[in-house]
Structure 1
Amino acid sequence: MRGSNNWTGLALVAGLAVSAQAVAAEQPDLNADPGRSSSFGQAGQMVISQDLNGFLGYNTASEVFLIRLEPSADYFLQQNLSVGASALVAFGFGDSTVVGLGVLGRVGYHLPLGERVSLWPKAGFGVQFAHVPGASDVNFVLDFNAPVLFHLTPHFFIGAGPQVRAVISQDVGSLGSEQGYFAGNDVTLGITTTVGGYF
């Protein structure tokens, strides 16, 4: 009887070991395929981001430092390919006080880099109304930013990265343009930070 119990115990231990190996084999290796390391960027996802985005940059056309707040919404048309829009709110301090309001459409592509890290470059085009003391103007805006995202939880991320923004204007007094036309020197360079979530 004791021998039978020993064989039963050995069989039980062997069965548990085989089951554990089978379960381990079914677990995906997150490092083997970075594209599956995060659920971000799937077709049909809606992303609400940059609600707390702050952009601090230096403008090449004048001694003005700019702070931008840009709440945004993006939608993934297919895996990793997104389209979206941002509301533009800008404040400039320095040689003059500048206020800008506008909207920007954009397209982006999500590039997974690791288990919790990815790159989400986006290019956009928009329209912005700018006001400085004694003058107002409507500008066209070209924008490129490439934040590195850190996925803290499955539906929440933070990130930071470089941003380049050019302003095309026809009038003097615009936000970031003193030339009256786009001459390659009314460009704002800076670092953008982002906080967002998706569902």
Structure 2
Amino acid sequence: MRGNSKWSGLALVAGLAVSSQAVAAEEPSLNSDPGRSSSFGQASQVVISQELNGFLGYNTASEVFLVRLEPSADYFLQQNLSVGASALVAFGFGDSTVVGLGVLGRVGYHLPLNERVSFWPKAGFGVQFAHVPGSSDVNFVLDFNAPILFHVSPHFFVGAGPQVRALISQSVGSLGSEQGNFSGNDVTIGITTTVGGYF
């Protein structure tokens, strides 16, 4: 009887050991299927992204801090070369309240830096309707942003980087220069963050 209980105990221990190994083998690992920068930027890829609470910067024309939300879509014409567009939604707070709506076309070039990190600078041109108390204005927009992307998993990335935006305007306002062309006094400088996916 004692011999049987000894063998039963050993069988139980062996069964538990095998079961724990099987469970450990089935547990997913965060690094089992990482994103790769080399998978991003292939010809015909479509990228959907959002500059989530996208842009927090300082505007040189007045004491106004700007928050931008910019849902975007980009398409890779060939490896690493992209074209795309963004919807522009801006809110400004400070000396005055600013609301801006518009659209921006852009071109970018993707540069893998290592297995999971890459650099995707983009330059754009667009138009924006801006409203400040007592005045409305249509601005042309020159934009440059250069996020560093971290490829969290296949088809998903997050990133952040510097952004510079200049406005060309026909009238005076918190979002426009006085001379009717870019005079260097209406530039927004800040950091943009992005989250997106591609297929």
Check whether TM > 0.5.
yes
Q: How many residues align?
A: 163
What does residue 178 of structure 2 align with? 179
* Secondary structure in 2 matching 1:54: strand
How far did 1:75 drift? 0.1
Q: 1:37 to 1:61 in 2, by over 3 A?
A: closer
Amino acid at match of 1:45: Q
In 1, the alpha carbon distance for the partners of 2:177 and 2:44 equals 42
Per the alignment, residue 96 of structure 1 pairs with: 96
More strand by share: 2
Q: Tell me, yes or no, if structure 1 residue 48 matches structure 2 residue 48.
A: yes
Tell me the residue number matched to 2:132.
132
Q: Deviations over 1:56-95 (max 9, x none)?
A: 0001111000000000000000000000000000000001
- Distance, in Å, in 1 between the alignment partners of 2:98 and 2:184 is 20
Unaligned runs of 5+ in 1: 1-35
Q: Structure 1 vs Structure 2: percent identity of aligned residues?
A: 88
Shift of 1:193: 0.1
1:40-189 equivalent positions in 2, closer than 5 A: 40-50=40-50, 52-175=52-175, 177-181=176-180, 182-189=182-189
In the alignment, is the contact (CA less than 8 A) between 2:109 and 2:120 conserved in 1?
yes
The one-letter code sitting in structure 2 at the alignment partner of 1:160 is: A
Amino acid in structure 1 at the alignment position of 2:178: Q
Q: Confirm or deny: 8 A CA contact 1:136 1:174 kept in the other structure.
A: no
Displacement of 1:179:
2.4
Residues 197/163 of structure 1: CA separation in 2 closer, same or farther (3 Å cut): same
How far is 1:37 from its partner? Answer: 4.8
